[in-house]
């Protein structure tokens, strides 16, 4: 009851999360296909279609988004020093709140672009480097990588980031999307909906998990240490990050989509050892979880291979939630528009279980 399990709170054309069969369909396309073939721009078009007038066609999309990145940087550059020192996801939240709060396509692009620009800038600032201005001529993923790492991204890295962004851009009525829809249901504006979504995403039970996954892999260090480390964590009553999901009763299909992206990246020259370690830790964790919680369906979730992939791409662990948000911003915006267009004010009730009426002191 307290977690609203199985409550249907909205109808959506955006995605179908089938937890029993481990399937995710985004506007008719299976997530595996999106991961393999879609760019970030393609995913944006897929999700925004029907919710905005004047959506550019596929050919014009990259240039439009590139211009939006340049505009977002121009708007935010002078504020970046104020954001330095904040944890990256809090800097992103503060920066996004400086963006427009309309409900038109320009606002949608501004928020989408600003998410990537701010995420990359905070990575640079944390490393003591100057933020890099966007290059509007590049694809969104390639430019985000270049702005974050300061290096020319390889084709394989660009493809891997596109695969990641397309895989996690939309996922039904998860906690952050619900928060975004609630804000949108009051007609607060897309900026408010995105900030509400990000605020809910940030927690370790939702989008804050991949950083701790990487910490766990680093602490374990080598495959032989996986079992004792995980056993000790479970004995302390800790949750193993990257495992378990409210909806998926079987393996999260995004885990395999991302594992395939990691493998493709490693094949193109990345270090294989982190992948081998991750596979050993995953196997050990699943064995232990199945034994420790026999009645529960605790399987690998999206965050496990997110950590391996974003680490291999050069993002620091504390920026993972912001990179996630740079993708999920598409889902938040599309859901917010859907709520604005076809929904009502979301206003559930609570049952009072406090003290009986009494005299005020």
Tell me the closest approach of the beta carbon of residue 317 to ligand ACO, in angstroms: 14
The residue number whose beta carbon is nearest to ligand ACO equals 244
In whole angstroms, what is the distance from residue 134 CA to residue 137 CA?
9
Tell me the closest approach of the beta carbon of residue 318 to ligand ACO, in angstroms: 16
Nearest residue (CB) to ligand ACO, 56 versus 210: 210
Tell me the closest approach of the beta carbon of residue 207 to ligand ACO, in angstroms: 5
Catalytic residue (one of 171, 245, 299, 338): 245
Q: HEC profile for the chain? A: CCCCCCCCCCCCCCEEEECCCCEEEECCEEHHHHHHHCCHHHHHHHHHCCCCCCCCCHHHHHHHHHHHHHHHHHHHHHHHHHHCCCCHHHHHHHHHCCCCCCCCHHHHHHHHHHHHHHHHHHHHHHCCCCCCCCCCCCCHHHHHHHHHHCCCCCHHHHHHHHHHHHHHCCCCCCHHHHHHHHHHHCCCCHHHHHHHHHHHHCCCCCCCCHHHHHHHHHHHCCHHHHHHHHHHHHHCCCCCCCECCCCCCCCCHHHHHHHHHHHHHHHCCCCCHHHHHHHHHHHHHHHHHHHHCCCCCCCECHHHHHHHHHHHCCCCHHHHHHHHHHHHHHHHHHHHHHHHHHCCCCCCCCCCCCCCCCCCC
Tell me the closest approach of the beta carbon of residue 24 to ligand ACO, in angstroms: 12
Nearest residue (CB) to ligand ACO, 67 versus 206: 206
What is the number of other CB atoms lying within 10 angstroms of the CB of residue 174?
22
219 contacts 195 by C-beta, under 8 angstroms: no
Tell me the closest approach of the beta carbon of residue 302 to ligand ACO, in angstroms: 5
Catalytic residue (one of 71, 282, 299, 303): 303
Tell me the closest approach of the beta carbon of residue 205 to ligand ACO, in angstroms: 4
Nearest residue (CB) to ligand ACO, 209 versus 313: 209
Nearest residue (CB) to ligand ACO, 47 versus 302: 302
Nearest residue (CB) to ligand ACO, 295 versus 354: 295
Would you tell me which residues interact with ligand ACO (CB under 6 A)?
Answer: 3, 205-207, 209, 239-246, 289, 293, 296, 298, 301-303
- Whether 245 sits among the annotated catalytic residues: the reply is yes
- Whether 303 sits among the annotated catalytic residues: the reply is yes
Nearest residue (CB) to ligand ACO, 291 versus 293: 293
Q: Which residues are catalytic?
A: 245, 303
């Amino acid at each position: 009851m307290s977690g609203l399990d199985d409550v249907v709170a909205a109808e959506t054309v955006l995605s179908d999360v089938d937890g029993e069969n481990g399937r995710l369909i985004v506007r008719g396309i299976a997530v595996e296909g999106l991961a393999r073939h879609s760019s970030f721009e393609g995913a944006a078009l897929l999700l925004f279609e029907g919710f905005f007038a004047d959506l550019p066609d596929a050919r014009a999309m990259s240039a439009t988004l590139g211009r939006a990145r340049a505009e977002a940087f121009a708007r935010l550059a002078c504020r970046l020093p104020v954001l330095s020192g904040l944890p990256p996801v809090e800097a992103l939240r503060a920066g996004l709140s400086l963006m427009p709060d309309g409900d038109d396509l320009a606002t949608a692009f501004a928020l989408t672009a600003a998410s990537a620009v701010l995420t990359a800038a905070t990575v640079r600032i944390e490393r003591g480097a100057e933020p890099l201005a966007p290059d509007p001529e590049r694809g969104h993923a390639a430019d985000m990588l270049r702005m974050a790492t300061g290096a020319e991204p390889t084709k394989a890295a660009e493809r891997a980031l596109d695969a990641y962004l397309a895989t996690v851009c939309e996922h039904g009525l998860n906690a952050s999307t619900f928060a975004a829809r609630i804000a949108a249901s009051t007609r607060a504006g897309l900026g408010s909906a995105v900030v509400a979504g990000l605020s809910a995403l940030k927690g370790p039970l939702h989008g804050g998990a991949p950083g701790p996954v990487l910490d766990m892999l680093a602490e374990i260090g080598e495959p032989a240490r996986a079992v004792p480390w995980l056993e000790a964590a479970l004995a302390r009553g800790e949750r193993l990050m990257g495992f378990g999901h409210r909806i998926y009763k079987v393996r999260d299909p995004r885990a395999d989509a991302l594992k395939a992206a990691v493998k493709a990246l490693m094949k193109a020259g990345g270090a294989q050892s982190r992948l081998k370690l991750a596979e050993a830790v995953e196997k050990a964790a699943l064995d232990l979880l199945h034994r420790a919680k026999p009645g529960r369906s605790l399987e690998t979730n999206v965050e496990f291979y997110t950590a391996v992939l974003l680490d291999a791409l050069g993002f620091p662990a504390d920026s993972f939630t912001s990179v996630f948000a740079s993708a999920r911003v598409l889902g938040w915006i599309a859901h917010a528009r859907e709520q604005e267009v076809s929904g009502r004010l979301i206003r559930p009730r609570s049952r009072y279980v406090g003290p009986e009426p009494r005299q005020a002191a």
